[in-house]
């Protein structure tokens, strides 16, 4: 093994050790109720102090532990997956910076220090999305960073508004002030959280970010970039309370992404849309005021979603870098261990009993169904949850039950360096949900009404028939207009097109401004024009200051003549 490949083992081991310490202290702080603040007063301007603050409580420590655990497994995975890449060391450093930015964000109860992690995530994610330097990656990177930049601007505006209160420490301010005092800050933070977590109408960048290498996708779409917005809103939950606006945004994001995943053919984009669906569920839970349940699902989702992406990376690697599920099949023969892990993490995603996703998802749905709810929203939420089952079954059908002949016997990528970190994540995907449910979020006994249970069974049967009809119609291509409908349903309701076409004239206007102003008139009227003019006039003066022997003697003659005239 090349010596530089071992850097991922050292960094992965370091992250794993810190993860264990963080998880232990998080569980300890939860039991004892301890909270630690570390403050460093950097500078004081007038009556405002710029303070670097770090907050260590059970929530931040647990989330840090999960992020570091997944990051360490991804580091081990990278060693085998990216070993043949020319820029392996650069990639490793970018991933490490990405994790560091996320830790800054988790530990910060101060908007100034949050900006360090927030902007760091945006910048490093752009560098990772364009890692494979081609046109597709460049376009995806621009869409990603410009969408996230809206949230960055909202954070900057919230910092300037918090100047009115003499502090940027929102952890104190949301308890000191109430009502309309901080409504502007709450709105700006809400916009920032929606852009970073890809809620509607900012959803287009998340599937586009799949242009990044698969280990990055496992990190970005499980516990770091997309969950940063949810985590920020969880920290602001006391100020936000119950939000009807966020509820509708979360529900429609969940419905749109779940529906789109049933028509998508790209393996990584299907998993990305499932991430978007789960983020919508977290936002919906958060909008109802159940911020602890949202955090519970955030932790469990991180484990099985990272495992899903790592399994997808093995499939893509072993099948010659093919991502279209129509060209995949029979992977259970070439990658049996990875297929087992993939099925297990898909079941956890669907909420199969006694796996990690079951404890958080079931509790969220039962708490919602037992509260006062709108019938229309109940239908939307129910079908959004059922779409998770339908696209998981569809994906399993394409991946395992479709025979590709001799190609299915090809095995190129199921190595020990990949299966070991996946085994660790699979273990946690099984036991973490039940452990957190017993220790952190005590079980609640909820008895559903009989009518609600019967309606769920009937709707599940109708949904199954609908899914089979859609798959049959897609195969037979029954009518031309149906293809248009399929395209609309599978294209995230035209959000990717709207996110690019609407802003293309603005980009062209920027190019025209650069051409005619910055490279045109400003060249003549600005600094370059002034330099050219001054150099021209100064060269004219050089004719009178040329020092040669003839001019030297001539000057003495003129001085002599001038003196004689004056005498």
Q: What is the pLDDT at residue 478?
A: 47
Residue 126 lies in a domain: no
> What proportions of the chain, in percent to the nearest 5, are helix, strand and coil?
75, 5, 20
Query: 283 and 159: one domain?
Result: yes
Task: Give me the sign of the Cα torsion angle 252, 257, 262, 264.
Answer: positive
Which stretch of DSSP H or E encloses residue 48? strand 48-56
The CA-based diameter of the chain, rounded to the nearest angstrom, is: 127
Q: Does position 15 have pLDDT exceeding 50, yes or no?
A: yes
Buried b (16+ CB within 10 A) or exposed e, 465-492: eebeebeeeeeeeeeeeeeeebeeebeb
Tell me what the mean pLDDT of segment 42-47 comes to. 74
Confidence of residue 467 (pLDDT cuts 50, 70, 90): low
The label of the residue with tokens 């248009």 reads 484
Query: 404 and 263: one domain?
Result: yes
Which of 219, 223, 224, 226 lies closest to 203, judged by CA? 226
Q: Which of 440, 470, 492 is the last residue of a domain?
A: 492
Report the 3 state secondary structure along 172-202: HHHHHCCCCCCHHHHHHHHHHHHHHCCCCCC
Highest mean pLDDT among 26-35, 330-339, 532-541: 26-35
Q: What is the pLDDT at residue 500?
A: 66
Q: Does position 48 have pLDDT exceeding 80, yes or no?
A: no
Summary count for the chain: helices (H), strands (E) = 26, 2
Q: Which of 444, 460, 492 is the last residue of a domain?
A: 492
- Burial-class residue 165 by CB neighbours within 10 Å (0-12, 13-18, 19+): middle
Query: 546 and 440: one domain?
Result: no
- Please state, in angstroms and rounded to a whole number, the distance separating the CA atoms of residues 59 and 70: 17
What is the overall mean pLDDT for the chain? 78
Residue 182: which domain range? 133-492
Query: 342 and 398: one domain?
Result: yes
**Which comes out higher in pLDDT, residue 76 or 441?**
76
Q: What confidence tens digit (pLDDT) does each residue in 247-285 have?
A: 888 888 888 888 888 888 888 888 888 888 888 888 888
Query: 485 and 513: one domain?
Result: no
Query: 301 and 200: one domain?
Result: yes
Query: 205 and 251: one domain?
Result: yes
Residue 332 lies in a domain: yes
Confidence of residue 481 (pLDDT cuts 50, 70, 90): very low
Q: What confidence tens digit (pLDDT) does each residue in 298-318 have?
A: 888 888 888 888 888 888 877
Q: What is the pLDDT at residue 479?
A: 45
Tell me what the mean pLDDT of segment 67-77 comes to. 88
- Please state, in angstroms and rounded to a whole number, the distance separating the CA atoms of residues 105 and 57: 14
Determine if residue 167 is left, alpha or beta; phi over 0 gives left, psi from -120 to 50 gives alpha, anything else beta. Answer: beta
Query: 461 and 510: one domain?
Result: no
- Please state, in angstroms and rounded to a whole number, the distance separating the CA atoms of residues 366 and 446: 7
Q: Which of 440, 462, 492 is the last residue of a domain?
A: 492
Residue 74 lies in a domain: no
- Burial-class residue 401 by CB neighbours within 10 Å (0-12, 13-18, 19+): exposed
Q: What is the pLDDT at residue 484?
A: 64
Q: What is the pLDDT at residue 480?
A: 42
Which of 273, 394, 258 lies closest to 325, judged by CA? 394
Query: 323 and 223: one domain?
Result: yes
In this structure, of 21-35, 338-352, 389-403, 510-524, the range with the lowest mean pLDDT score is 510-524
Q: Does position 563 have pLDDT exceeding 80, yes or no?
A: yes
Residue 239 lies in a domain: yes
Confidence of residue 488 (pLDDT cuts 50, 70, 90): low
Highest mean pLDDT among 7-11, 199-203, 423-427, 475-479: 423-427
Confidence of residue 476 (pLDDT cuts 50, 70, 90): very low
Query: 262 and 330: one domain?
Result: yes
Tell me what the mean pLDDT of segment 503-527 comes to. 71
Tell me what the mean pLDDT of segment 86-114 comes to. 84
In this structure, of 254-263, 501-510, 538-547, the range with the lowest mean pLDDT score is 538-547
Three-state secondary-structure class, residue 444: coil
Q: Does position 350 have pLDDT exceeding 80, yes or no?
A: yes
Residue 39 lies in a domain: no
**Number of structural domains the chain divides into:** 2
Q: What confidence tens digit (pLDDT) does each residue in 178-235 have?
A: 556 677 788 888 888 888 888 888 888 888 877 788 888 888 777 778 888 888 888 8
Residue 100 lies in a domain: no
Q: How many CA atoms lie within 13 A of 106 on its CB side?
A: 25
CA 170 vs. chain centroid, Å, equals 23
Q: What confidence tens digit (pLDDT) does each residue in 404-449 have?
A: 655 555 656 567 777 888 888 888 888 888 888 888 776 666 666 7
**Which comes out higher in pLDDT, residue 4 or 97?**
97
Tell me what the mean pLDDT of segment 360-385 comes to. 80
Q: What is the pLDDT at residue 483?
A: 61
Which of 249, 266, 220 lies closest to 391, judged by CA? 266
Query: 313 and 334: one domain?
Result: yes
Query: 464 and 540: one domain?
Result: no
- Please state, in angstroms and rounded to a whole number, the distance separating the CA atoms of residues 99 and 108: 15
Q: How many CA atoms lie within 13 A of 465 on its CB side?
A: 5
Residue 128 lies in a domain: no
Q: What confidence tens digit (pLDDT) does each residue in 137-189 have?
A: 888 888 888 888 888 888 888 888 877 776 677 666 666 665 566 777 888 88
Q: What is the pLDDT at residue 477?
A: 47
């Amino acid at each position: 093994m090349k010596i530089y490949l071992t850097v991922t083992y050292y960094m992965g081991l370091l992250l794993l050790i810190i993860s264990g310490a963080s998880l232990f202290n998080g569980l300890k702080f939860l039991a004892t109720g301890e909270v630690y603040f570390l403050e460093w007063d950097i500078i004081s301007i007038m009556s405002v102090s710029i303070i670097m603050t770090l907050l260590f409580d059970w929530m931040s420590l647990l989330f840090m532990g999960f992020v570091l655990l997944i990051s360490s497994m991804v580091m081990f995975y990278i060693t085998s997956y990216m070993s043949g890449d020319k820029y392996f060391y650069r990639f490793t450093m970018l991933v490490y910076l990405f994790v560091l930015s996320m830790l800054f964000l988790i530990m910060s109860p101060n908007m100034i220090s949050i900006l360090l992690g927030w902007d760091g995530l945006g910048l490093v994610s752009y560098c990772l999305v364009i890692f494979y330097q081609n046109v597709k990656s460049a376009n995806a990177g621009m869409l990603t960073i410009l969408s996230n930049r809206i949230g960055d601007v909202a954070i900057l505006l919230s910092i300037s508004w918090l100047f009115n209160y003499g502090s940027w420490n929102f952890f104190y301010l949301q308890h000191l002030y109430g009502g309309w005092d901080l409504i502007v800050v709450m709105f700006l933070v809400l916009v920032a959280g929606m852009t970073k977590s890809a809620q509607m109408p900012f959803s287009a960048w998340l599937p586009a970010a799949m242009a990044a290498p698969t280990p990055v996708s496992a990190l970005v779409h499980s516990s770091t970039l997309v969950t940063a917005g949810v985590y920020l809103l969880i920290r602001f939950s006391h100020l936000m309370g119950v939000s009807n606006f966020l509820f509708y945004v979360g529900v429609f994001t969940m419905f749109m992404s779940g529906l789109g995943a049933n028509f998508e053919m790209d393996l990584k984009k299907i998993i990305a849309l499932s991430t978007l669906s789960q983020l919508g569920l977290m936002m919906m839970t958060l909008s109802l005021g159940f911020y602890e349940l949202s955090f519970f699902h955030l932790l469990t989702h991180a484990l099985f979603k990272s495992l899903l992406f790592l399994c997808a990376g093995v499939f893509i690697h072993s099948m010659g870098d093919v991502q279209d599920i129509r060209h995949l099949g029979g992977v259970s023969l070439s990658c049996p261990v990875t297929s087992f892990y993939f099925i297990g993490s898909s079941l956890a995603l669907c909420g199969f009993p006694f796996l990690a996703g079951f404890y958080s998802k079931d509790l969220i749905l039962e708490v919602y169904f037992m509260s006062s709810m709108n019938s229309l929203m109940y239908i939307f939420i129910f079908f959004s949850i059922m779409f998770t089952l339908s696209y998981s079954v569809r994906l399993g059908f394409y991946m395992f039950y479709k025979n590709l002949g001799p190609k299915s016997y090809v095995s190129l990528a199921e190595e020990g360096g990949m299966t070991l970190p996946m085994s660790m994540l699979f273990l946690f995907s099984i036991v973490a949900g039940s452990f957190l449910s017993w220790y952190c979020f005590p079980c609640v006994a909820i008895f559903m009404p009989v009518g609600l249970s019967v309606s769920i069974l009937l709707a599940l049967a109708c949904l199954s028939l609908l899914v089979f009809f859609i798959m049959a119609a897609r195969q037979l291509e029954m009518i031309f207009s149906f293809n248009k409908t399929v395209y609309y349903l599978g294209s995230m309701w035209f959000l990717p097109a709207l996110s690019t076409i609407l802003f293309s004239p603005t980009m062209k206007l920027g190019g025209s401004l650069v051409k005619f102003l910055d490279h045109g008139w400003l060249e003549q009227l600005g600094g370059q024009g002034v330099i050219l003019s001054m150099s021209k006039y100064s060269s004219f003066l050089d004719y009178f200051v040329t020092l040669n022997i003839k001019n030297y003697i001539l000057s003495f003659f003129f001085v002599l003549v001038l003196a004689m005239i004056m005498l």
